[in-house]
Amino acid sequence: MRLSLLALSFFASTVAAESITVYKSPTCGCCTEWIKIMESKGHDVKVEHPFNLQESKSQLGIPKQLASCHTAVIGDYLFEGHIPEQDILSFLADPPVGAKGLAVPGMPQMSPGMASPGQRYSGFRVIGFNADNQYWLANQY
Amino acid sequence: MPIISIGWQTSTDLIQVVKPFIWLVTVISALAIAEASDPGRELYLTAGGYGCGVCHGPVANGGGQAGGSIRGASRAAFDKALAEQPTMRLLVNALSQNDIAELSRYLVSLDKIPLVELEYSDLGWRITQQPIAKGQVVQLVVSNHSFADLVLNLQSFGFAATTITPLDTRVLEWKAEAGTFFLPDNELLVVSTNEVCEH
């Protein structure tokens, strides 16, 4: 029984692991904290420091209303800011038709990478967006 | 009268705002150039690659973000933050002494600009305002937290009606005249007849 649970756990973590490219500024500490969280969940994170971060966000297609400090790219999808890992996995498991990605705009105090370890996430929204700059509420903390 | 609109809106919207006030075009242009070339504000919007506004709001007003309001922050407070706060310490090597001086000058200058914050969500309006005296330049920060377009009507201030798209924030500047002005949700903004005292 214990062996099968271990096997299940290993299988689940293997299935969930994603290859992530994160675009950030070298001066951003909270970006690094968010990356550490994603790596601790088993994801493979590659970090890029573009010369002009704001231009990079624009070229990737992040709406200015949704901007935060870092932009993560997984496959064809964009994930802007301090999004909880669980929301990213839920999105990737069943992406809404036409969706381009998710965002947590700005720097909410109690979001992953901003909150202290163990603190409950609260006080922010996870926003879904598409290429037509249409937005919807994906989750709320 | 509206003198300039700054912030995260399109230039098309800016033109719509100033169009009815042709006689002010020369003044508006001069002020717009002054605003655009303010090195402190430019740094505020770009420092570190993402800009101070991500943590402190579009005009250092906090805007619900983790860094909070830093309007009017002194040079001493700035230096202390750069020395002690983990997030700010990472910026030390990214900012020259001249950058820090320009940013500090910009933040101190905001202390003389009263703030009116207008936040719209599905729950309605949340409005906060600071005391305003005749002649002061005021910043009105309008945030649309909803998922629908917001038609903003501040005609008593001299602004043409404008639409703010979902999740966008607009910063309008207005030179206060004495009188009573209509904010959304039937709230009033009262400007005293006393001229502002420079200090």
Q: Mind listing the domains of chain B with CATH numbers?
A: 3-26+113-191 (2.60.40), 39-110 (1.10.760.10)
Residue B153: both structure tokens together: 């009507």
Predicted pLDDT at B148? 96
Contact B90 A27 (CB under 8 A): yes
**A28–B49 C-beta distance less than 8 A:** yes
Q: To the nearest whole angstrom, how far is the Cα of A103 from the nearest Cα of chain B?
A: 12
3 state SS for A114-130: CCCCCCCCCCCEEEEEE
Residue B171 binned pLDDT confidence (cut-offs 50, 70, 90)? very high
Q: In chain A, what residues touch B63 (CB-CB under 8 Å)?
A: 106
* CB-based contact B61:B69 (threshold 8 Å): yes
Say yes or no to pLDDT of B1 above 70.
Answer: no
Cβ pair B169:A65 closer than 8 A? yes
Contacts of A137 in chain B (CB under 8 A): 147
C-alpha B149/C-alpha B54 separation (Å) is 23
Structural domain harbouring A64: 2-140
pLDDT single digits (tens) B36-86: 579 999 999 998 888 999 999 999 999 989 999 999 999 999 999 999 988
| Angle (nearest 5°) at CA A67 between A66 and A69 | 145
On chain B, the residues whose CB falls within 8 A of the CB of A29 are 86-87, 90
Residue A123 — φ and ψ, nearest 5°?
A: 80, 25
Taking the CA of residue A107 and the nearest CA in chain B, the distance in Å comes to 5
In this complex, do A107 and B67 lie within 8 Å of one another by their Cβ atoms? Answer: yes
* Number of domains observed in the structure of chain A: 1
Q: In the numeric block, which tokens belong to residue A140?
A: 């709320």
In this predicted structure, the answer to whether residue B135 has a pLDDT above a threshold of 80 is yes
* Closest A-chain CA to B94: A27
ipTM: 0.83
Give the gap in angstroms from C-alpha A18 to the nearest C-alpha of chain B: 25
Please give the average per-residue pLDDT across B84-89, as a whole number: 88
pLDDT at B195: 66
Which residue has better confidence, A14 or B74?
Answer: B74
